[in-house]
Amino acid sequence: MHVPPIHSLTQTDWQLAELIQREAQRQHDKLRMIPSENYVSTAVLEATGSVLTNKYSEGYAGRRYYEGQQLVDPIELLAIERAKALFGVEHANVQPYSGSPANLAVYLAFAQPGDPVMGMSLPMGGHLTHGWSVSVTGKWFRPVRYDVRRETGRVDLDQVRDLARRERPKVIFCGGTAIPRTIDFPAFAEIAREVNAILVADIAHIAGLIAGGAHPSPVGHADVISTTTHKTLRGPRGAMLMSTAEHAAAIDKAVFPGLQGGPHNHTTAGIAVALHEAGTDSFRAYAHQVVANAKALAAALIERGFDLVSGGTDNHLILIDLTSKGIGGKPAAKALDRAGIETNYNTVPYDTRKPFDPSGIRLGTPALTTRGLTEAQMPQIAAWIDEVVSAAVKEDEAVLDRVAGEVRELLSGYPMPGWAPQP
Ligand code: DSN
């Protein structure tokens, strides 16, 4: 049964209940390797599905626009204190609805429409909200974009410095969505300081690794830290902005009333639970295991002739350039999905193909590490990926179904938090 059970939903809305049950089974049976996804704990599920969803709380603790905040205030303060303690920051705002609104609040706090803002180009591994042209951040501000070096796949800090000196951005984002290497926060901070820009570390992908000590922290380097809470941090879908005390008021004012209305209190509670869990020794071990698994998988993929952007990984994420395998990222990701291995197709730096049909796939180890897989299983996973990609090239569908069965069989020995198949 689902934990917590969904008896009432089954009685009142069987159609939806059945879809949820099937989604749970799907998550149970597949190797979920989209690097921005995870499995939350039963405790996070419980907090997120609680009566806190019933309450409006516009404002901040002690300064709300609605009555009845006797318990919401301490819940939000608990989440804030836990964020401050876990990451060692002076200020935390736990109200942003998700990563994109969190980043938009940063622009509102520190830039005016038309100002130059700087971030990593989306096809190089950045995020839409770091000034990409189709995003409001690229339309209402003047984006300045940096790349990775063609030869190394790593951020070109010389280019970042040159662009920053020339364009004088108000805000510089470091971090992104497809960066397999350690982010050099001190180097970005030096550049931002030189041009008097606000440095924002978008740690959405690596927040859990930082909390667990498996990636260096931006604290002491970045003025503002933006993160979602549902990736490696293993919380509910939400976000946080953290900063030095100096920027606290600007951040808070930008989130509310600048951008959002009432915070999602059930999410705040789920974030508080996740932050509590992330402070434990077992989470520390988890964060290190995520990286160990990714490194083992990268080594096994390289052994099988796969080209990895930047030649490997330092974190939870691997970006495979499939050009040499004679297949695009999209058909490969679709074949892998059918074979029970969930990834996403992704551009690779300097991609010659279109974003909707790019050359790469992006995969990672946060979710499968939560299931309990270790380095021991990574060669098998690389072998399946290799077999499926070759089968996709030859359009041999029987292989995909066989691998899906083998994946299911492996995962049946690794429980999924929050749900178990019915006996
Ligand atoms: N959608 C997130 C990711 O998959 O990385 C970024 O917003």
Active-site amino acid positions? 56, 58, 202, 228, 231, 237
Ligand 1 atom with least separation from CA of 129 = 7
What pLDDT was estimated at residue 48?
A: 96
Burial of 356 (0-12, 13-18, 19+ CB in 10 A): exposed
First to last CA, the chain: 9
For residue 278, the tally of other CB atoms under 10 A from its CB is: 25
Average pLDDT along the chain: 97
Q: 97 CA to middle of ligand 1, Å?
A: 14
Phi, psi of 32 (to 5 degrees): -85, 105
Contacts of residue 395, defined as CB under 8 A and 6 or more positions apart, other chains included, come to: none
Q: Is the CB of 175 under 6 A from ligand 1?
A: no
Predicted local distance difference test score (pLDDT) of residue 422: 80
- CA–centroid distance, 292 to ligand 1, in Å, is 22
Is residue 4 scored above 90 in pLDDT? no
Q: What is the pLDDT of residue 423?
A: 75
Domain spanning 47-278: which CATH class is it, in words? alpha beta
Read off the pLDDT of each residue in 156-173 and give the average, rounded to a whole number: 98
Nearest atom within ligand 1 for CA of residue 128: 7
CA of 190 to the centre of ligand 1 (A): 27
pLDDT tens string 10-56: 999 999 999 999 999 999 999 999 999 999 999 999 999 999 999 99
Question: So what's the pLDDT on residue 1?
Answer: 44
**Coil, strand or helix at 234:** coil
Residues 382, 5: Cα–Cα separation, whole Å: 36
Distance CA 222, CA 236 (A): 25
Instruction: Tell how far CA 331 is from the center of its chain.
Output: 24
What's the pLDDT tens digit per position in 329-349?
999 999 999 999 999 999 999
pLDDT tens profile 92-109: 999 999 999 999 999 999
Nearest-atom number in ligand 1 for the CA of 205 is 5
76: nearest Cα among 263, 250, 230: 263
**307-308/224-228 β-pairing:** unpaired
- Look up the pTM and report it: 0.97
How many angstroms does the Cα of residue 423 sit away from the middle of ligand 1?
A: 35
> Which CATH fold would you assign to the domain 289-411?
Aspartate Aminotransferase, domain 1 (3.90.1150)
Q: Is 177 in the pocket of ligand 1 (CB under 6 A)?
A: yes
Counting from 1 in the atom list of ligand 1, the atom nearest the Cα of 100 is: 7
Q: What is the mean pLDDT of residues 270-299?
A: 98
Please give the Cα distance from 277 to 283 (Å, whole number).
7
* Minimum CA distance residue for ligand 1 atom 4: 36
pLDDT tens digits along 263-283: 999 999 999 999 999 999 999
Ligand 1 center to residue 35 CA distance, Å?
8
Q: What integer is the mean pLDDT of 180-207? A: 98
The verdict on the CB of residue 328 being under 6 Å from ligand 1 is no
Candidates 106, 37, 12, 58; CA nearest to 364 is: 37
Mean pLDDT score, 195-211: 98
For ligand 1, the distance from its centroid to the CA atom of residue 201, given in whole angstroms, is 15
Arithmetic mean of pLDDT, 364-375? 98
Q: Tell whether ligand 1 has an atom less than 6 A from the beta carbon of residue 343.
A: no
36 lines ligand 1 (CB under 6 A): yes
Phi (first) and psi of residue 381, to 5 degrees? -65, -40
Cα 36 to ligand 1 centre (Å): 6
- Is 180 in contact with 317 (CB distance < 8 Å)? yes
Domain residue ranges in the chain: 47-278, 289-411
The residue to mutate among 38, 137, 177, having the most atoms of ligand 1 within 8 angstroms of its beta carbon, is 177
Which of 32, 124, 127, when mutated, tests ligand 1's pocket best, judged by the most ligand atoms within 8 Å of its CB? 127
Amino acid 155: pLDDT: 97
% of residues, the chain, pLDDT over 70: 99
| pLDDT value of position 5 | 75
Take atom 6 of ligand 1 and give the residue whose Cα is closest. 177
